[in-house]
Amino acid sequence: MTGKKAETDLSPFSKIKASRVVWPILIGLAVVGWLFWRDFDPGVLDDIHFTWVSLFWVVVAFLCMFGRDLGYMIRIRVLSRGALTWRQAFRIIMLWEATSAITPSAIGGTSVAILYVHKEGIGLGRSSAIVMLTSFLDELYFAVMFPLVLLAVGAGNLFDLSLASDSLTRGLMAFALTGYFLKLAWVLLLAYGLFVNPKGFRWLLLKVFSLRWLRRWRKGARRVGGEMVQSAREIRGSDLRFWAGALGSTFLSWSSRYLVANALIMAFFSVSDQMMLFARQLVMWIMMLVMPTPGGSGFAEAIFSGYCRDLITVPLAMQASAATLIALFWRLITYYPYLLAGAIVFPTWIGRNFGKKRRARVAHEDKLS
């Protein structure tokens, strides 16, 4: 394969288009606008007083976002065994999060994350292993945390929506459980492939995708099987320090992500049950697994406004308005900045890795070889 063809095969342009940045913004703003039109009572603004306490909690919210990204950066440096610098880790995470923001939640940014890691000087096989391990660690967090929070707050409390009908409550619970068991099944498959029998996992995957109606995805299955074998080699002999760093940073990033909303509500109102709010956000993220919209745009705003409103301590008539306002602030802090970061970082990264100078250098190296 020539260098030019290799570059084409790895090019993210087939996965990422500028137009995709517009859709999540439009969808999210449309849903928020509809929620404001349907529920918003301007009287809720009378209860908002921006004080030093408010400023403190806003700062805490931003610190939680910093913790989210710091955890990801620590993790990718741990998984690369220090081969990536802090600057490289930051660049990879910003590109990865920006891609996740413009792709459906079920896909996320992993489809091109291997490329992001590879272009920072990590071998392609090792890059695949790093991304595979991040997927395993993320899903492991949900597999472990969901039953724990369920035990902590109780299933009845977690899905008891005072403003919702019984059918909606059952629907949300079924939705969350479906998403959870899909994640759990994937975790178990990954664990089998990584720690028990990677070659057996690859063989089984290829057998399954040899079936006539699945054959069109056989090439992708072969790639995943190869990544699994490479990942198993990467982690073979890893010590306690490696796993403590990988698991601890994963816990830091995901837990920080959920605590943003807790801090935001405390900045303007108060929360009746902090643990319950954390637990419901975990459930929301599991439900977003099957959302087809980019970054869960639209769904996230709507479900947050409906699912978490009863935890905001304002008069019942004001809960919908307060929840809609917080949902807007929440997405402004946790989602839209990554679209902006992607718009800033991505063009420079593309120019450095796929621009004319890069193509000329690859062509020159091909001639020498």
Query: Residue 44 has what pLDDT?
Result: 67
pLDDT for the residue 143:
92
106-128 per-position pLDDT tens digit = 555 566 888 899 889 888 888 88
Contact 100, 338 (CB under 8 A): yes
Q: Which residue carries 């307060």 as its tokens?
A: 322
Instruction: Tell me what pLDDT residue 51 has.
Output: 83
Kindly give the parts of the chain with pLDDT less than 50: 1-10, 13-14, 161-165, 362-366, 368-369
pLDDT of residue 31: 72
pLDDT at 168: 56
Nearest Cα residue to 126 out of 199, 234, 204: 234
- State the pTM of this model: 0.82
